[in-house]
A = this chain, B = another copy of it.
Amino acid sequence: MTDTEDFEAQRASNAKAPITSTMMAAPLRVTDILRRAEQIFADQRIVSRLAPGVVETMTFAEAAQAARRLASALAALGVQQGARVATLMWNHANHLVAYYGIPAAGAVLHTLNPRLSPEDLAYIIADAGDDIVIVDEDLLPLWRQVEAHVRPRHVIVNGKPDAAHDIAWSELLAANALADWPEGTFDENTAAAICYTSGTTGRPKGVVYSHRSVVLQAFGTIAPDCFNLSARSVTFTLTPMFHVNAWGLPFAALMAGSVVVLPGPRITPEEILDLIEAERVSIAFGVPTIWTGVIQALSGERSWKLPEGLMLVSGGAAPSPEMFRTFDRHGIYLQTGWGMTETSPIASQTWLLPAHGSLSDEERIKVRASNGLPLPFIEFRIASEDGTVLPWDGSSQGELQCRGPWVTQNYIGHPAPIPATTPDGWLKTGDVAVIRPDGYVQLVDRLKDLIKSGGEWISSVDMENAIAELAGVAEAAVIAVADEKWGERPVALVCPRAGTSLTAREVSTHLQSRYPKWMVPERIEIVSELPKTGTGKLNKLLMRQQLGANG
């Protein structure tokens, strides 16, 4: 257009034409996270504890080079675009290398949970159609049992192979040149990673994360009101890398340029505290069972000089209010949230608003022990059994339903995917929740863990938290058993702390001070251990079976 033209004629004409974005078509690709980390955080460290007293360090630049060698090695082994490459590995730097090297080869990362049974693992490998598997040396005995059922084309051993058909990781990487990072046009909805739910009933079900969903969750979780990750953070990922991609931390921490500390296999609470102290960890991630152990260690004879401002993030199950109080006393900030395999998993985190500053400590802990606020672009609602959407009034209870760009629509299925949502497209989580007027979600219970006694609901989670307040209690589980008269009755299983004595009568007296008489379990058992699922959650299904209950 020149100055002498008729602006109004141009305007009117252009206004009739559609307008399109002029932005670049730049895909969100997982491998770009490590590509950037290699460029601008080259010397940042990945610290792996491999065994008691054995700690190794790898830089981001070294990890990136290893990932690029793994990518070319996989290509040389004939791995095709979209092939599934499984890992059966603990949390350490080589597993992190596989997190990027596998997608860099155009393949899909499938993390296997070594706490599952060999048959469940074989089922999962068959269901996902894994082409190659990478196994930690010390998991070879388990792998040999899995191999009785399935035979992926190649087995790569991180360590020393004990079978002729295995390939050694180190030799494989040494023999292959650096691959280039993937570049150019790319559909960001391509599969990047597969995880299976560790459902306590039925077979595990698989969800497939896309490059887009992984990257968007990483953006969501590095935010100040989620994990607050920066190049000054030191992250300690105790949540297993075979469990929902360790909450996306292998992606988020490298995006933020944070130091990565990884615990390897079978770490003790004392070693956890040693590493937090030695590496000046700023934020550590794990399930409540881990933190229960850490609390026990902290109340023991040893003492640690922990970094100021240390924050722990708890997920996978709800920490009790007492756990918040205990860590507060130790000057450690505990934060929780909510998520599941189907939500990648981080859907919400429980951070405080300025308005909470005026609350009493106890009221504030009530907020902190809730399941928090959804991350940007994640949405929550609650719905009754007939699908009615319920109000955010803090009292209406319904199934928590969820949607957003890192929430699953389906599970893997053959020949067709298995739907995971309501007809209008919200994930059915199976969790029962209330939503407060300010948007904070509070899980009431798992649908199947609510106890219905005489037509009234009893929340097992609430009663477990009440029992945990008793001095001397390490953990408690409250489950439903069938009852001829009441339909269901609660039974409490209580595990005392090491070295303390505790009686069923003490637990009963405590509960009677807190609950109406009809709610207090007639049957309270003191046990030395509570059965857990492969991911460290209370295995209520097993407890019900052991009690001959209605599970």
Q: A14-B127, A82-B19, A439-B39 are in contact. Are A24 and B231 (CB under 8 A)?
A: no
- Any chain B CB within 8 A of the CB of A22? yes
B219 with A10: CB separation less than 8 A? no
Among residues of B, the one whose C-beta sits closest to the C-beta of A427 is: B24
User: Cα distance A151–B12 when bound, in Å?
Assistant: 9
Among residues of B, the one whose C-beta sits closest to the C-beta of A14 is: B129
A149, A210, A354, most chain B CB atoms within 10 A? A354
A127 with B10: CB separation less than 8 A? yes
User: Cα distance A6–B13 when bound, in Å?
Assistant: 67
- Any chain B CB within 8 A of the CB of A8? yes
- Any chain B CB within 8 A of the CB of A383? no
Nearest CB in chain B: distance from A385 CB, A = 23
A127 with B1: CB separation less than 8 A? yes
User: Cα distance A40–B440 when bound, in Å?
Assistant: 8
Give the residues in chain B near A192, CB-CB below 8 Å.
21
Give the residues in chain B near A17, CB-CB below 8 Å.
129
| A411-445 Cβ-contact flags toward B at 8 Å (1 or 0) | 11010010011000101000000000011000000
Q: Which of B131, B376, B410 contacts A255 (CB 8 A)?
A: B376
User: Cα distance A191–B373 when bound, in Å?
Assistant: 29
Give the residues in chain B near A126, CB-CB below 8 Å.
1, 7-8, 10-11, 14
Give the residues in chain B near A11, CB-CB below 8 Å.
125-126, 129-130, 150-152
Among residues of B, the one whose C-beta sits closest to the C-beta of A402 is: B24
User: Cα distance A130–B19 when bound, in Å?
Assistant: 11
A14 with B408: CB separation less than 8 A? no
- Any chain B CB within 8 A of the CB of A15? yes
- Any chain B CB within 8 A of the CB of A351? yes
Among residues of B, the one whose C-beta sits closest to the C-beta of A228 is: B224
Nearest CB in chain B: distance from A361 CB, A = 19
Q: How many A residues touch B, CB cutoff 8 Å?
A: 107
- Any chain B CB within 8 A of the CB of A461? no
B122 with A16: CB separation less than 8 A? no
- Any chain B CB within 8 A of the CB of A229? yes
Give the residues in chain B near A3, CB-CB below 8 Å.
119, 123
User: Cα distance A405–B24 when bound, in Å?
Assistant: 6
A405 with B26: CB separation less than 8 A? yes
Q: Which of B12, B40, B218, B231 contacts A374 (CB 8 A)?
A: B40
- Any chain B CB within 8 A of the CB of A128? yes
B40 with A373: CB separation less than 8 A? yes
B191 with A409: CB separation less than 8 A? no
- Any chain B CB within 8 A of the CB of A207? yes
User: Cα distance A439–B151 when bound, in Å?
Assistant: 45
| A451-466 Cβ-contact flags toward B at 8 Å (1 or 0) | 0000000000000000
- Any chain B CB within 8 A of the CB of A101? no
| A146-157 Cβ-contact flags toward B at 8 Å (1 or 0) | 000111100000
Q: A119-B3, A223-B256 are in contact. Are A28 and B377 (CB under 8 A)?
A: yes
User: Cα distance A219–B355 when bound, in Å?
Assistant: 24
User: Cα distance A351–B150 when bound, in Å?
Assistant: 50
Give the residues in chain B near A14, CB-CB below 8 Å.
126-129, 414
Q: Which of B23, B403, B417 contacts A213 (CB 8 A)?
A: B23
A19, A232, A412, A427, most chain B CB atoms within 10 A? A19
Instruction: State the 4 A-B residue pairs at the shortest beta-carbon distance, nearest first.
Output: A14-B129, A40-B439, A21-B210, A15-B129
- Interchain residue pairs with CB less than 8 A apart (17): A3-B119, A7-B122, A7-B125, A8-B151, A11-B126, A21-B190, A22-B409, A23-B189, A23-B405, A24-B405, A24-B409, A27-B405, A28-B377, A219-B219, A223-B224, A225-B257, A231-B354
Interface residues, chain A, with chain B CB atoms under 8 Å away: 1, 3, 7-8, 10-28, 32-33, 36, 39-40, 42-43, 82-84, 108, 119, 122-123, 125-131, 149-152, 189-192, 194, 203, 206-210, 212-213, 215-216, 218-220, 222-225, 228-233, 255-257, 351, 353-355, 373-374, 376-377, 379, 392, 403-412, 414, 417, 420-421, 425, 427, 438-439
Other 14 A-B pairs with CB < 8 A, given A224-B228, A232-B354: A1-B414, A11-B130, A15-B83, A19-B412, A21-B192, A23-B208, A23-B209, A23-B407, A24-B404, A36-B379, A40-B438, A215-B377, A225-B231, A255-B376
